[in-house]
Amino acid sequence: MFYIFNVLYFIGSTQVLFVHGFECHCGKPSDEIVSTRIVGGRRAEPHSFPWTVAILKNERIHCGGAIITNKHVLSAGHCFKWDDIQSMKVLIGLDTFEDLRNVEERIISKAVIHEKFSSTAVRDENDIAVATLNQPVIFSNTILPICLPKPGEEFAARIGTIVGWGRIGEEKSASQVLLKASLRILSDEKCMESQLAQHLRPMMMCAFSKGKDGCQGDSGGPFLVFQTDGRYVQAGVVSWGIGCANPIYPGVYTKVSYFVDWIQKQTVDGETCE
């Protein structure tokens, strides 16, 4: 017989969980997941992005999200603003909708939308939310939290990765498997040179690569950057755009680094990894 002990300490206001017997690191897929080879997206190696969750509404894909503690999901404010959370459920540890074995299912007990969220016919501003799960999850090879960036951290000119089960093109259906696509993050200056300039705000960032984008259904999903320490951080939240993979209009993402303090205030009762 053996025992698994949990050890807690605090970083800022969030508890950090060490699970003896399981190497628990945010933003770093398990070494047992061997990496191989959205719109323009490729099939992601199963569980290579183990923080990614699917938020379903009435049994259909509604939004994406990312696990940030054992009981909190980071997503977009517009995913919850006009919809009843009682009609939603969260699938955690999911790879393909064709195999739901070992997938954890939770309902949302509370969704906190940023108090300065606003919306127009074109764009959403301060488009970020933290959803609380009705029961915590246990971290494993297939369920891990994503790392948050440092407050104010910038990612201009970096290559980011979007993941999700959203539509694989305009007028097309959602993907059955998790897809990924690589996009170049534009500087704020380049972003302001686009056709979206009049709608942009400081808490937003743009990214684009020809033929690739996040579509409806990927809303709220994580936009990731791979760091030199071998971990992913969540640079953005898929927020809004005009069309899908339209070269005139880059996709727009909420800057997570703009909201780190706010996120930590919403997750004080959660546990995360080192």
Q: Cite the active site residues.
A: 78, 127, 219
How far is Cα 183 from Cα 170, in angstroms, rounded to an integer?
A: 18
Backbone angles phi, psi at 80, to 5 degrees: -120, -15
How far is Cα 126 from Cα 110, in angstroms, rounded to an integer?
A: 18
* Pairing status of strand 204-208 against strand 251-255: antiparallel
How far is Cα 254 from Cα 43, in angstroms, rounded to an integer?
A: 25
How many angstroms separate the Cα of 34 from the Cα of each of 103, 199, 213, 254?
Answer: 20, 41, 25, 30
Helix (H) or strand (E) holding 262: helix 260-266
Decide if 27 contacts 52 (C-beta within 8 A). Answer: no
Backbone angles phi, psi at 86, to 5 degrees: -70, -15
